[in-house]
């Protein structure tokens, strides 16, 4: 790696995830593993969303639909058809990607708030559909057969494996986000974000670029979904498509800084950390939602570029190492 300096920006995010993955192993604590799992999940989802939201400038309010849909499809093959977790992960990512491709062809024509509304509609429609879809268990959902865990050496082993796969997915999401950010394709997305019409004039094929950005941002959430339901042992429509979780992802991306590789990671850390603190503190636990809301409001009103965006703006040398 002669020109490793060019890729300085990926090192910090990768170190953060590696540290997070090693932390529970080093401290040998199950509760630390659970916290790290939640943060890694948030990193994987927020970094994926950032490809569409931060780079392309399209606000997906129902991004959790890919998590739920991919998770459902994957768990169906895992549980009912006896596929391995690896094959299920693949099929989950693939099905979310295909869903995004088909949806993208249709709804990415809408701009601004119309797109945001349409994504909410899609999430609710898919949720309501799955609620009626008998193959996936309808309103009851599916419960994992515990025999599935045996293949991986029992429940404890399977859960620990799920943790490392989640770390792998978070890493994959970050690498993907970074590769898009530094590629020519990513440059096209940034151009669309700034001015879609001008970008088209400059030769960016906007409909295709947007669709692929949507697909790329959907694949990993699908895999995260199946992994989470695998670990959880069951899935049902309300838990699979929570609209508020979509919005939490937006908050994370916004907190850390949209359109940057490091931003969603910082945002995921900060948001989950803050939530963890508020939920457990005696003083705030009853009104933790209000406190989170007030903090979000202050950030939206006064630091709209997020933490990383603010740092990049204030300290010019940082722009090199904080892509």
Partner 1 sequence: MQQLSLLLTSLPDGILLGFVYGVAAMGLTLIWGVMDVINLSHGPIISLGMFGTFFLFIKMGINPYLGLIPIAVLGLLLGVAIYFIAVNRVIDAPHLSSLLATFSVNMIIIGIATAALTTSPYNVDFNMGSFDLGFTTILGTRLIAAVISILVTGGLYFFLYRTRPGKYIRAVTNNRAAAELMGVPSTQILALSFGLGTMLAAISGALIATFFPFSILSGAGYELKSFVIGVLGGLGNPVGALFGGLILGVLEGAIPAFMETSWVPVIEFGLFVVILLVRPNGLFGAKE
Binding site for partner 1 (CB under 8 A): 53, 57, 59, 61, 106-107, 109-110, 112-114, 116-118, 120-122, 124-125, 127-129, 131-132, 139, 247, 250-251, 254, 258, 286-294, 296-297, 300-301, 304
**Chain centroid to CA 314:** 28
The nearer residue to partner 1, 205 or 287, going by C-beta atoms, is 287
Closest separation in Å from C-beta 121 to partner 1: 4
Distance (Å, rounded) from C-alpha 167 to C-alpha 87?
18
Min dist. Cβ of residue 74 to partner 1 (A): 22
Q: Taking the CB of residue 152, how many other CB atoms lie within 10 A of it?
A: 17
Q: Which is nearer to partner 1, 148 or 308 (CB)?
A: 308
Q: Give which of 48, 17, 6 is closest to 266, Cα–Cα.
A: 17
Q: Please, are residues 79 and 146 in contact by the beta-carbon 8 Å criterion?
A: no
Partnered with residue 259 across adjacent β-strands are: none
CB of 209 to partner 1, least distance (A): 19
Alpha helices, DSSP H, located in 139-242: 147-150, 154-182, 184-194, 196-201, 206-232, 237-240
- Closest separation in Å from C-beta 51 to partner 1: 15
Closest approach of Cβ 104 to partner 1, in Å? 12
Measured from the CB atom, the residue of 221 and 306 that comes closer to partner 1 is: 306
**Toward partner 1, which CB reaches closer, 30 or 300?**
300
Q: How far apart are CA 249 and CA 194, in angstroms?
A: 22
| Nearer CB in complex with partner 1: 139/154 | 139
Closer Cβ to partner 1, 94 or 116, answer by number: 116
Least separation, in Å, of the C-beta of 304 and partner 1?
A: 6
Q: Which is nearer to partner 1, 103 or 169 (CB)?
A: 103
- Find all residues with CB under 8 Å of 128, minimum gap 6, and list them: 237
Q: How far is the CB of 305 from partner 1 (least distance, A)?
A: 11
* Residue of 239, 261, 291, 71 whose CA lies nearest to 166: 71
Rounded to 5 degrees, what angle do the CA atoms 293, 117, 263 make? Answer: 50
Q: Do 61 and 246 contact (CB within 8 A), yes or no?
A: yes
């Amino acid at each position: 790696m002669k020109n490793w300096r060019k890729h300085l920006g990926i090192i910090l995010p990768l170190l953060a995830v590696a540290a997070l993955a090693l932390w529970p192993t080093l401290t040998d604590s199950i509760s630390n593993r659970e916290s790290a799992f939640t943060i890694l999940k948030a990193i994987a989802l927020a970094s994926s969303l950032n490809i569409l939201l931060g780079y392309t400038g399209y606000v997906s309010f129902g991004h959790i639909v890919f998590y739920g849909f991919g998770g459902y499809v994957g768990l169906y093959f895992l549980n009912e058809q006896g596929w391995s977790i690896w094959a299920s992960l693949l099929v989950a990512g693939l099905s979310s990607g295909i869903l995004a491709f088909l949806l993208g062809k249709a709804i990415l024509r809408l701009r601004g708030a119309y797109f945001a509304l349409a994504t909410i509609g899609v999430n609710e429609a898919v949720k309501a559909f799955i609620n009626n879809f008998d193959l996936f268990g309808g309103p009851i959902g599916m419960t994992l057969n515990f025999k599935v865990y045996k293949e991986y050496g029992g429940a404890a082993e399977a859960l620990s494996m799920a943790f490392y796969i989640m770390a792998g997915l978070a890493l994959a999401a970050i690498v993907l986000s970074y590769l898009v950010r530094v590629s020519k394709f990513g440059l096209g997305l940034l151009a669309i974000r700034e001015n879609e019409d001008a970008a088209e004039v400059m030769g960016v094929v906007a409909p295709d670029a947007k669709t692929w950005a949507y697909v790329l941002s959907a694949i990993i959430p699908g895999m995260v979904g199946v992994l989470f339901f695998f670990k959880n042992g069951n899935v049902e429509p309300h838990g699979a498509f929570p609209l508020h979780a979509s919005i939490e992802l937006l908050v994370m991306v916004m907190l850390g800084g949209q359109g940057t590789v490091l931003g969603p990671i910082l945002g995921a850390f900060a948001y989950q950390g803050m939530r963890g603190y508020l939920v457990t503190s005696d003083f705030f636990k009853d009104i933790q939602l209000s406190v989170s809301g007030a903090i979000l409001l202050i950030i939206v009103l006064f630091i709209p570029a997020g933490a990383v965006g603010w740092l990049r703006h204030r300290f010019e040398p940082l722009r090199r190492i904080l892509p």
